[in-house]
Amino acid sequence: MKVLVTCPPMLRNLDEFRPRFERRAIEVEAPRVVQALTEPDLMRLVPRCDGWIIGDDPATQAVFAAGKAGRLKAAVKWGVGIDNVDLEAARALGIPITNTPSLFGKEVADLAMAYVAALARQFVAIDRGVRAGDWPKPSGISLEGRTVALVGYGDIGRNTARRLLAAEMRVVAYDPVLVAGKRPPAIDVAVWPERVEEADFVVLTCALTRETRHILNATSLSRMRPGVRIVNVARGALIDEPALLTALESGHVSGAALDVFEEEPLAADSPMRRFDQCVLGSHNGSNTVDAVRRASERAIELLFGFLGVS
The answer to whether 280 and 258 have CB atoms below 8 angstroms apart is: yes
Q: Is 264 a catalytic residue?
A: yes
The answer to whether 202 and 230 have CB atoms below 8 angstroms apart is: yes
The one catalytic residue in 213, 264, 294, 297 is: 264
Cα(171)–Cα(154) distance, rounded to whole angstroms? 15
The one catalytic residue in 170, 235, 241, 298 is: 235
Torsion 157-258-107-51 (CA) sign: positive
Beta strand 97-99 pairing with 51-54: unpaired
Torsion 227-202-160-102 (CA) sign: negative
Q: Is 283 a catalytic residue?
A: yes
Cα(35)–Cα(13) distance, rounded to whole angstroms? 15
Cα(310)–Cα(308) distance, rounded to whole angstroms? 6
The answer to whether 201 and 149 have CB atoms below 8 angstroms apart is: yes
Residue 229: which of 153, 133, 124, 299 has the closest Cα? 124
Q: Is 22 a catalytic residue?
A: no
Catalogue the active-site residues: 235, 264, 283
